[in-house]
Structure 1
Amino acid sequence: MTKLTLRADAARNREALIEAAAEAFADHGLDVPVEEIARRAKVGVGTVYRHFGGKEQLIDAILDKRIAEMVALAEKALAEDDPWHGIVTFVVEGFEMQARDRALKEVLLCTSRGGERIAAARERLAPLVRAIVTRAQRAGVLRGDVEPSDLVMLHLMLGAVADFAGDEDPELWRRYVPLLLRGLRPRATEGEDRPLPHPALSDERFERAMARWHSR
């Protein structure tokens, strides 16, 4: 067997592993064992470690791209001419991406997985989400007391519906999108927004809540 053939086989195995891991993570989340990824790729477990050194590096290779797609979505929402449509775009299309890929949802809502590259990508996403919220508030189409973390909470709410409905009705979450979005609109009472009955989580409290939620 020539060196060229060996290199071609190695490249095919690497691509097969990436494809198998992407499918496995999307279906079952990040806790899929290495053996399952190797089985789907039709290679030995040793091949996984030979190409990636372990599952964490494989997670980095796949989810770095997924988070980049979320960043691109936030940029798209921020570029919308209508600030309210930008909010709708980020909430709806963002959850569509998470509904298709369980691993993406896990890494967005968890601080303990995904490696340094994923953490850096999440840091890129945070200011974009804040800009989406601030722009809509300045345009008067979003409540003044809405925080960026509230949009993440909407994804959690929709995720609870999606997890509950499961195979029975995987699109059921769409029914609740307009109900949730309606609550983000300003509600004038004597010229002012009626305040929400409870404050949003600060960034620090949000991270602590996510860590505890994941540990459960």
Structure 2
Amino acid sequence: MIDKPCRGLRKDAERNRQRVLAAARELFAVKGMEATLNDVAHHANVGVGTVYRRFATKEDLVEAIFEDGIDQVVCLAETALQQQDSWQGFVWFVERLCELTATDRGLREMVYSKAYGGDRVERARLRLVPMVSKLVERARDDGHLRPDVESTDMPILGLLAGTVGEWAGHVDPELWRRYVAILLDGMRHRDGQQRIPVTALEHRQMDEAMRGWRPAG
């Protein structure tokens, strides 16, 4: 007789947990990491105690959301590598990556700053770097991509799109697409191109930049 209510409570607890996670994703996408657990509770339309029972700290909540976001980017890279045309695969990946970073402020702040990402960023990079490097190398070797474009340029393209989205999204939520198209056109290989005057960041420098950026919240 006691067993059935216990199962019901566990099911209800999991339902509340998923509700809190969904609300947090929506809220972080708009407000970034400055959103608090109290804000999440209000957005989920649950009591503050419900949120704190599932996630004792904001860090615990970020941990749960971060992996989902990285899985999305990994899936994009895997799908792009399956395309036979290396340029089309490269363009498809860049556009989808930029769409994520332009429309999800929270994911952008988690991925580009170690203030919230911490060691998770390093683990994510170990998953992503080989695939992104292959996308770049493949398009470069086939003569589609400028020879001086590097894999470390890819996350910065996402950051640029995110900045446009954050600055002008309330005026035109699609404006970031214009600048991604301009960037992609500039990355195409053409005979007689001058080399880009500044070299891409090394992975060590990327890590240093991430450690130095402190988003709001």
The residue aligned with 1:170 is 173
1:169-208 alignment to 2 at 5 Å?
Answer: 169-189=172-192, 193-208=193-208
Q: Which runs of 5+ in 2 are unaligned?
A: none
Task: Give, in whole Å, the separation in 1 of the partners of 2:176 and 2:120.
Answer: 31
Note the C-alpha offset of 1:10.
1.6
Task: Give, in whole Å, the separation in 1 of the partners of 2:204 and 2:60.
Answer: 27
1:82-161 alignment to 2 at 5 Å?
Answer: 82-114=85-117, 116-117=119-120, 119-161=122-164
Task: Give, in whole Å, the separation in 1 of the partners of 2:117 and 2:157.
Answer: 22
Does the aligned pair in 2 maintain the 1:188–1:194 contact within 8 Å? no
Runs of 4+ in 1 over 6 A off after TM superposition: none
Report the AA paired with residue 203 of structure 1.
H
Task: Give, in whole Å, the separation in 2 of the partners of 1:215 and 1:51.
Answer: 25
- Alpha carbon RMSD of aligned pairs, Å? 2.0
Report the AA paired with residue 31 of structure 1.
E
Aligned residues: 213
Task: Give, in whole Å, the separation in 1 of the partners of 2:55 and 2:28.
Answer: 16
Task: Give, in whole Å, the separation in 2 of the partners of 1:118 and 1:68.
Answer: 12
Report the AA paired with residue 210 of structure 1.
M
Note the C-alpha offset of 1:81.
0.7
Q: Which runs of 5+ in 1 are unaligned?
A: none
Task: Give, in whole Å, the separation in 2 of the partners of 1:215 and 1:8.
Answer: 36
Note the C-alpha offset of 1:172.
1.0
Seen in structure 2, the aligned counterparts of structure 1 residues 13 and 145 have a Cα distance that, compared at 3 Å, is: same
What TM-score results when the alignment is normalised by the length of structure 2?
Answer: 0.89
Does the aligned pair in 2 maintain the 1:92–1:177 contact within 8 Å? yes
Identity of aligned residues (%): 44
